[in-house]
Structure 1
Amino acid sequence: MERISIVKILVVISLGVVTSFMLLQSGGDGEPSSASLGDLIKLPEPDRIGGVPLESALQKRRSHRAYSDEPLVIGEVSQILWAAYGVTDPRGFRTAPSAGALYPLEVYLVAGDVEDIPPGVYRYRPHDHELSMVREGDIRPRLYDVSLRQGFIRDAPALLVISAVYERTTGRYGERGERYVQMEAGHAGQNVLLAAASLDLGAVPVGAFDDGGVKRGLNMPQEEAPLYIIAVGKI
């Protein structure tokens, strides 16, 4: 009898460990999704020819901090991610200029309410124009907490986070490379804002956040530094 009791205790402990692991994998934020870590989502091809004239997008661009309850669709997300840092040339050149074509930036999608994309954190893979899940669950409330509780971060259906691996550029250009990286982030950020305007979406860039909190929320590697959060939604 004593041996059976010990076996039962071990089974209960094992189940507890498995349950805790599953909760950690889900990120503990929101409901777990049907997607799994590392899953790839192929994005629709972006529109490289049509769209509104550049002058119209420049005229329409404003910082929007209030969004409707309507979700974004995967085609809109595809267009915005491509505008941010998509590949535009067989040699690998991107939509944003980069000193030495070193491309130190990484772009993440924080999906909260996007059709055909389960809630979670995704890294954009420009060369294949696809998303790779790095964290399950809706972490918008967590980013809201580490971004001075700005309500639109919690409410926007999607957030783009632009980070940088400075060493990719400073390894060639030294300390001056830090400036080049920050300039490049500005180029990518403006691309997002203009793409949003051309799609009749609202967007706003945010720089007020706790870097460490954002890094932990997105499971960023140690060498990455978050530079931008851009909220995007329908208006």
Structure 2
Amino acid sequence: MDIFSLPEPVFDSSFSVEKAILRRRSVRVFSNSPLNLSEISQLLWACQGITHFEGFRTAPSAGALYPLEVYFSTGNIKGIPDGIYRYDPFKHQIILIKYGDLRYMLYNASLNQEWVRDAPVCFIITGVYDRTTGKYGSRGIRYVDMEAGHAAQNLCLQATALEIGTVTVGAFFDSQVQQILGAPENEFPLYLIPAGKVR
């Protein structure tokens, strides 16, 4: 198992939250420029990073149960091989799950949406509903879906501040994405988020 440490995230910048909200748009055409590990680090931290010594994260979670997992598929990031990676927020590192550029498989699984194939990286947010429904019953399903929205918006706003374009994708075959990720049966894909430099 290959593990890559990530650069420390930055906690302050001259790009305001207000400006990020103003400028955030769905981007479906990306340049060929690669992203770097510092950018990936910042995006992953914004999505699900640890912000408190008790393990609290950047996105709110019902009961602090944290049912989300974050992966990404890459074919164009400086410093790491192409593959599928899973984010470990506790150690702020990424774990290589599968070697190779699998963006084309995600493209097929997402009804041939070109931006999934063409972006340098595609983030995948999954949910393990059992972590939340175990405490909150069927209402926990709603809580997990809400949390995925919080995490995705954090990622998109952080990307905007880094001058990286994103688009959120919800149309895909769940079982195919699960298979590509090698995710367990109780872990369901909720979002694909292609990201890259804007042309």
Tell me which interval the TM-score lies in, with the shorter structure as reference length.
Answer: over 0.9
Asked if 2 retains the 8 angstrom alpha-carbon contact of 1:111 and 1:117, the reply is no
Q: Give the equivalent residue in structure 2 for 1:85.
A: 48
- Which runs of 5 or more residues in structure 2 are unaligned? none
The match for 1:207 among 156, 170, 186 is 170
Q: How does 1:1-235 map to 2 (within 5 A)?
A: 38-235=1-198
Q: Distance in 2 between matches of 1:190 and 1:149?
A: 24
Offset, 1:174: 0.1
Offset, 1:61: 0.1
Q: Distance in 2 between matches of 1:176 and 1:107?
A: 22
Structure whose CA Rg is larger:
1
Offset, 1:66: 0.3
- The structure with higher relative contact order (CA 8 Å, sep 6+) is 2
Q: Distance in 2 between matches of 1:169 and 1:212?
A: 21
- Which residue type is aligned with residue 120 of structure 2? P
Asked if 2 retains the 8 angstrom alpha-carbon contact of 1:63 and 1:204, the reply is yes
Q: Distance in 1 between matches of 2:118 and 2:91?
A: 29
User: Could you tell me the percent identity over the aligned residues?
Assistant: 52
Offset, 1:93: 0.2
Please give the secondary structure, in 1, of the residue aligned with 2:147: helix
Q: Distance in 2 between matches of 1:188 and 1:112?
A: 23
Please give the secondary structure, in 2, of the residue aligned with 1:160: strand
Q: Distance in 2 between matches of 1:227 and 1:146?
A: 13
Please give the secondary structure, in 1, of the residue aligned with 2:106: helix
Offset, 1:130: 0.2
Offset, 1:51: 4.4
Deviations 1:132-161 (A, max 9, x none): 111111100000011010111110000100
Give me the CA root mean square deviation.
0.6
Deviations 1:51-87 (A, max 9, x none): 4100010011000000001001111110000000000
Worse-matched range after superposition: 46-55 or 197-206 = 46-55
Please give the secondary structure, in 2, of the residue aligned with 1:205: coil
Asked if 2 retains the 8 angstrom alpha-carbon contact of 1:73 and 1:115, the reply is yes
Q: Distance in 1 between matches of 2:81 and 2:22?
A: 33
Q: Distance in 2 between matches of 1:130 and 1:51?
A: 26
